[in-house]
Structure 1
Amino acid sequence: MKRRAALLALLALSACNLEPHLDRPQPLVPPSWPAGDAYLRQNEASLPSVSYRDIFKDPNLQAIIDQALANNQDLREALANVAAARATYRVQRADLFPQVNGTAGATDRHTPQSGDTLSGAGSGTGSTGTGSTGTGTTGTGSTGTGTSVSSSGSRTYTTYQLQAGATSWELDLFGRVRSLTRSALDLYLSQEATARGARLTLVAEIANAYLQLASDRSLLAIALDTQKSALDSVRLTQARLDGGVAPRTDLRQAQTVLATAQADTANVTTLVAQDRNALELLVGARVADALLPPSIEAVDGMLGELPAGLDSTILLRRPDVVQTEYELRAANARIGAARAAFLPRISLTGLAGLSSTALSSLFTGGAFTWTVAPSATLPIFDGGVNSGNLAYAKAQRDLYLATYQKAIQTAFREVADALARRGTIDAQIQADQLNLTAAQDTYTLDTARYRNGIDPYLNALVAQRTLYDARRTLASARLTRAQNLVALYQTLGGDALLADLPDTPGARRDLEAGGQRLTDPAR
Structure 2
Amino acid sequence: MNKSLLSLALMAALSGCSLMPDYQRPGAPTAASWPEGEAYIGSASAAKGAQMEMDWQTFFKDPALRQLITVALENNRDLRIAALNVDAYRALYRVQRADVLPLVSGDAAGSRTRTPGDLNQTGESAISSQYSATLGVSWELDLFGRLGSLREQALQEYFATEAAQRSTQVSLIASVANAWLTLQADQALLQVSRDTLKTYEESLSLTQRSFDVGVASALELSQARSAVDTARVGIERYTRQVAQDRNALTLLLGRNIPLELPADGRLERDLLAAVPVGLPSDLLYKRPDIIQAEYQLRAANANIGAARAAFFPRISLTGAVGTASSELSGLFDGGSSYWNFAPSISVPIFNAGQLRANLDYAEISRNIQVAQYEQAIQTAFREVADGLAAQATYVRQVQAQRDLLETSEDYYRLAERRYRTGIDSYLTLLDAQRQLFEVQQQFISDRLAQMVSEVELFKALGGGWDAQGEAIPGQG
Name the TM-score, length of structure 2 as normaliser. 0.89
* Alpha-carbon distance in 1 for matches of 2:349, 2:283: 50
Out of 93, 97, 103, the position equivalent to 1:99 is: 103
Does structure 1 residue 78 correspond to structure 2 residue 48?
Answer: no
- Alignment correspondent of 2:439: 470
Task: Kindly state the Cα deviation for residue 494 of structure 1 after the two structures are TM-superposed.
Answer: 4.4
Q: Which amino acid aligns with 1:98?
A: P
- Alignment correspondent of 1:53: 57
Out of 213, 217, 228, the position equivalent to 1:258 is: 228
- Alignment correspondent of 2:468: none
Does structure 1 residue 319 correspond to structure 2 residue 288?
Answer: yes
Q: Is the 8 A contact 2:267 2:448 kept in 1?
A: no
* Alpha-carbon distance in 2 for matches of 1:252, 1:399: 66
SS in 2 for 1:297: coil
SS in 2 for 1:450: helix
* Alpha-carbon distance in 2 for matches of 1:469, 1:276: 25
SS in 2 for 1:103: strand
Task: Kindly state the Cα deviation for residue 279 of structure 1 after the two structures are TM-superposed.
Answer: 1.4
* Alpha-carbon distance in 1 for matches of 2:253, 2:32: 38
* Alpha-carbon distance in 2 for matches of 1:430, 1:59: 26
* Alpha-carbon distance in 1 for matches of 2:463, 2:422: 63
Does structure 1 residue 162 correspond to structure 2 residue 133?
Answer: yes
* Alpha-carbon distance in 2 for matches of 1:238, 1:107: 107
Task: Kindly state the Cα deviation for residue 49 of structure 1 after the two structures are TM-superposed.
Answer: 6.7
SS in 1 for 2:318: strand
Out of 371, 377, 394, the position equivalent to 1:425 is: 394
Does structure 1 residue 373 correspond to structure 2 residue 307?
Answer: no
Q: How does 1:297-376 map to 2 (within 5 A)?
A: 297=267, 300-356=269-325, 362-363=331-332, 367-376=336-345
Q: Which amino acid aligns with 2:167?
A: G
Task: Kindly state the Cα deviation for residue 71 of structure 1 after the two structures are TM-superposed.
Answer: 2.7
Task: Kindly state the Cα deviation for residue 447 of structure 1 after the two structures are TM-superposed.
Answer: 1.0
Does structure 1 residue 213 correspond to structure 2 residue 214?
Answer: no
* Alpha-carbon distance in 2 for matches of 1:50, 1:172: 47
Q: Which amino acid aligns with 1:66?
A: T
SS in 1 for 2:20: coil
Q: How does 1:261-280 map to 2 (within 5 A)?
A: 261-280=231-250
Residue 278 and residue 158 in structure 1: after superposition, are their counterparts in 2 closer, same or farther (change >3 A)?
closer
Q: Is the 8 A contact 1:61 1:291 kept in 2?
A: no
Does structure 1 residue 203 correspond to structure 2 residue 178?
Answer: no
SS in 2 for 1:333: helix
Residue 460 and residue 3 in structure 1: after superposition, are their counterparts in 2 closer, same or farther (change >3 A)?
same
* Alpha-carbon distance in 2 for matches of 1:319, 1:225: 45
Q: Is the 8 A contact 2:191 2:264 kept in 1?
A: no
Aligned length: 462
* Alpha-carbon distance in 1 for matches of 2:261, 2:22: 53
Bigger shift: 374-383 or 79-88?
79-88
* Alpha-carbon distance in 1 for matches of 2:247, 2:194: 22
- Alignment correspondent of 1:9: 10
Residue 239 and residue 415 in structure 1: after superposition, are their counterparts in 2 closer, same or farther (change >3 A)?
same
* Alpha-carbon distance in 2 for matches of 1:500, 1:385: 46
- Alignment correspondent of 2:373: 404
1:327-347 CA distance string (max 9 Å, x none): 111111111011111111000
- Alignment correspondent of 1:27: 28
Task: Kindly state the Cα deviation for residue 244 of structure 1 after the two structures are TM-superposed.
Answer: 2.9
Q: Which amino acid aligns with 2:62?
A: D
Task: Kindly state the Cα deviation for residue 68 of structure 1 after the two structures are TM-superposed.
Answer: 2.2
1:39-81 CA distance string (max 9 Å, x none): 22499xxx97743222222121122222222332333333333
* Alpha-carbon distance in 2 for matches of 1:171, 1:316: 38
- Alignment correspondent of 1:236: 206
Q: Which amino acid aligns with 1:94?
A: A
Q: How does 1:173-184 map to 2 (within 5 A)?
A: 173-184=143-154
SS in 1 for 2:312: coil
Q: Is the 8 A contact 2:176 2:249 kept in 1?
A: yes
- Alignment correspondent of 1:393: 362
Q: Is the 8 A contact 2:277 2:388 kept in 1?
A: no
Name the TM-score, length of structure 1 as normaliser. 0.81
* Alpha-carbon distance in 2 for matches of 1:416, 1:367: 79
SS in 2 for 1:383: coil
Task: Kindly state the Cα deviation for residue 251 of structure 1 after the two structures are TM-superposed.
Answer: 2.4
Q: Which amino acid aligns with 1:96?
A: V
Residue 158 and residue 456 in structure 1: after superposition, are their counterparts in 2 closer, same or farther (change >3 A)?
closer
* Percent of aligned pairs with the same amino acid: 44
Larger Rg computed on CA atoms? 1
1:103-130 CA distance string (max 9 Å, x none): 123455777999xx99xxxxxxxxxxxx
* Alpha-carbon distance in 2 for matches of 1:230, 1:107: 98
Task: Kindly state the Cα deviation for residue 373 of structure 1 after the two structures are TM-superposed.
Answer: 1.5
* Alpha-carbon distance in 1 for matches of 2:238, 2:203: 22
SS in 1 for 2:267: helix
SS in 1 for 2:34: coil
- Alignment correspondent of 2:467: none
* Alpha-carbon distance in 2 for matches of 1:369, 1:49: 69
* Alpha-carbon distance in 1 for matches of 2:54, 2:173: 13
* Alpha-carbon distance in 2 for matches of 1:288, 1:362: 69
Task: Kindly state the Cα deviation for residue 101 of structure 1 after the two structures are TM-superposed.
Answer: 1.1
Q: Is the 8 A contact 1:64 1:291 kept in 2?
A: no
* Alpha-carbon distance in 1 for matches of 2:208, 2:106: 100
Q: Which amino acid aligns with 2:360?
A: A
Q: Which runs of 5 or more residues in structure 1 are unaligned?
A: 119-151, 502-523
Q: Which amino acid aligns with 2:403?
A: L
* Alpha-carbon distance in 1 for matches of 2:241, 2:126: 92
Residue 385 and residue 261 in structure 1: after superposition, are their counterparts in 2 closer, same or farther (change >3 A)?
same
Q: Which amino acid aligns with 2:71?
A: Q
Q: Is the 8 A contact 2:301 2:366 kept in 1?
A: yes
Residue 48 and residue 41 in structure 1: after superposition, are their counterparts in 2 closer, same or farther (change >3 A)?
closer
1:414-444 CA distance string (max 9 Å, x none): 1111110001111111111111111111211
SS in 2 for 1:23: coil
Q: Which amino acid aligns with 2:247?
A: N
Residue 110 and residue 228 in structure 1: after superposition, are their counterparts in 2 closer, same or farther (change >3 A)?
closer
Q: Is the 8 A contact 1:296 1:475 kept in 2?
A: no
SS in 1 for 2:457: helix
- Alignment correspondent of 1:247: 217
What value does the CA root-mean-square deviation take over the aligned residues?
2.8
